[in-house]
Structure 1
Amino acid sequence: MNIVLTIAGSDSGGGAGIQADLKTFQELNVFGTTVITALTAQNTLGVNGIYPATPEFVELQLNAIFDDFDVRALKTGMLFSAEIIQTVARNLKDRNLRIVVDPVMIAKGGQALLKDDAVQALIRVLLPIATVLTPNIPEAETITGMKIQTGEEIRKAAQKILEFGVECVVMKGGHLEDPMAVDTVFFQDGSSFQMKSPKIDTRHTHGTGCTFSAAITAYLGRGLSIKESIIEAKKFVQAAIENPLNIGHGHGPTNHFAHRLGAKAEVEIIE
């Protein structure tokens, strides 16, 4: 059995965070373990409150997992504070693990999920040990301090991120003004490729970033290459978006069942 780990916050609405990660892991046939960094009171309409775990308790959870389970790959989501980021990075840096970092910063409703001082901690201690980073455009702008609106600016921002030490960065293009969602993937060796899919006219996109990064983690945990994992994860999350559940009164969750039920996503790979 391939075992994976998510280090993230809990979403009481079930569409993002730990809940989305575990649903994704289950759908992709890996066993999911968890380290919870914060509790949130939220639903599809917004975040009503955040109750962070202490760094000490985060470390206790990490020790409990690593003392008993052979974790193949892991992801980080909402880490909330610089102290938690430093605790996580310290406990991961000497382990031979494939690490996916989803730099969760802002909820769909606009609420901040990462303290301002935590961005520098993310850059300084977590990115150097990361295998894959999956920022959307606003997150990439925060990490790089650059304005990103064009393909050339995406390339320059990705290069700056790679200089922080991460092996691969997936620049998600869903926030750009384009009828297609174009994600561009850059590697340390200078190679790159794009994944193009149609934008879906739906407000039910809560948890898409969590689901995408969790799917990458699941495929890495199953032994696929980084490139294969990213492509398969894109198909998984695209199917989840294209077949919405239409629940909740705000930004509803994606459909984690879609892939298993045979939904085929339209994703074009451009080398």
Structure 2
Amino acid sequence: MALTVAGSDPSGGAGIQADLKTFSALGVYGTAVLTALTAQNTRGVTGVHPVPGAFVGEQVRTLLDDVTVHAAKTGMLGTADVVRAVAAALAGRAAGPLVVDPVMVATSGDRLVDDDAIAAVRTELLPVAELVTPNVPEAAALLDTAPASSVDELAAQAEALLELGPGAVLAKGGHLGGAESVDVLATADGVVVTRRPRVDTTATHGTGCTLSSAIAALVARGVGGPGRWEPVVEQARDFLQRALQAGESLGIGSGHGPVHHFAGTWPA
């Protein structure tokens, strides 16, 4: 069983909707705590309506008082108030390893959080995370530095983020361009670079949500083991690769359509 703490996406490609689809596709029962409503489609975000932090915390506490969760992930938290509430609600409660996807910018380029929220993620959430999964601009924001422009720079930033307290960092290099999509996994044992052929597609909505929720689902199923992130990351990247390759077959929207979470399961 896995838990997602994230915002809602009415178009179904990202956020809570993408997380629950991913959990289901990977054979894991999904639970969810809502942090925000968004007005968005495949072309962009037009509005964000945060859930008050106190009520987000109440959702987490009430759920975990009754339901056993084997892994948890966070997505868009939106405000510093919500970040602090989530960190406090998870403290001292058994919810399995915590995967933090520090959602700050939508695929469309729309910014989803303010500077106070970024600071709260840095100081409150990263120290309790088992794995954090920033993309290039998110890693730069968390470190208050310029975005990486090469794999070597991204690896250096992943190691710098490791010093902020998480157990491991998966820095996603999709923004770097090139023929391959390159991610960097940094742990106490060193840095591992993982590569996949870049998929030429417009169906990229929800890629970060899908990858982080796939990691949480696989952890909940017992893949890897304590501190063994490489096999989990590789399997999650394989899942995302299939979802990207099949995304355009869904024909959703006129902008960045969603990846296909049930590729290979639904009839062609």
TM-score relative to the length of structure 1: 0.92
1:70 aligned residue: 68
Tell me how far apart the structure 2 counterparts of residues 47 and 98 of structure 1 sit (CA, whole Å): 30
Q: How does 1:138-153 map to 2 (within 5 A)?
A: 138-147=137-146, 148-153=148-153
Which residue does 1:60 correspond to in 2? Answer: 58
- Secondary structure at the counterpart of residue 10 of structure 1: coil
For the pair 1:247 / 2:258, whether they are aligned, the reply is no
Q: Distance in 1 between matches of 2:260 and 2:74?
A: 21
1:21 paired to 2:1: no
The reply on whether 1:234 has 2:233 as its aligned counterpart is no
What is the identity, as a one-letter code, of the residue corresponding to 1:67? D
The residue that corresponds to 2:108 in the other structure is 109
Amino acid at match of 2:34: I
Unaligned runs of 5+ in 1: 264-271
CA contact (8 A) 1:205 1:241 kept: yes
Q: Which residue of 2 aligns with 1:256?
A: 261
With structure 2 as the length reference, what TM-score do the two structures score? 0.93
Shift of 1:152: 2.5
Structure 2 SS opposite 1:107 = coil
CA-to-aligned-CA distance 1:119-151 (integer Å, 9 cap, x gap): 111010100010111111111111112331123
| Paired residues for 1:165-176 under 5 Å | 165-176=165-176
Give CA-to-partner distance per residue, 1:174-229, whole Å, 9 cap, x none. 1103211111111023x222221111121110000000000000000011122222
Per the alignment, residue 205 of structure 2 pairs with 206
Deviation of the 1:42 alpha carbon: 1.0
Per-residue deviation, residues 137-170 of structure 1 (Å, max 9, x unmatched): 1111111123311233112211110001111111
2:158 and 2:184 in contact (8 A); partners too: no
SS class of match (2:254): coil
Three-state SS of the structure 1 residue aligned to 2:70 is strand
- Report SS of the residue matched to 1:117: helix
Distance 2:197 2:160 in 1: 28
* AA of the residue aligned to 1:101: V
Q: How many residues align?
A: 260
* Pairing 1:41–2:44 present: no
Contact 1:39 1:52 in 2 (8 A): yes
Distance 2:163 2:193 in 1: 20
Paired residue secondary structure (1:83): helix
1:24 Cα deviation after fit:
0.4
Which one is further off, 140-149 or 69-78?
140-149
Identity %: 46
The answer (yes or no) to whether the contact 1:85–1:121 under 8 Å persists in 2 is yes
Q: Matches of 2:138 and 2:62 in 1, distance apart?
A: 31
Shift of 1:64: 1.9
Q: Confirm or deny that 1:99 pairs with 2:102.
A: no
Partner of 1:118: 117
| Partners of 2:151 and 2:173 within 8 A in 1 | no
- Could you tell me how far apart the structure 1 residues matched to 2:195 and 2:110 are? 29
Unaligned 5+ runs, structure 2: none
Q: After the TM superposition, which parts of structure 1 deviate over 3 Å for at least 4 consecutive aligned residues? A: 259-263
Once the two structures are superposed, what CA deviation does each residue of 1:214-250 show, in whole Å capped at 9, x if it has no partner? 0000000011122222111100011100112232110
**How far apart are the structure 1 equivalents of 2:114 and 2:243?**
29
Measured in 2, the distance between the counterparts of 1:29 and 1:118 equals: 33
- Within 5 Å, give how 1:183-202 maps onto structure 2: 183-189=183-189, 191-202=190-201
Report deviation, 1:95.
3.0
Match of 1:135 in 2: 134
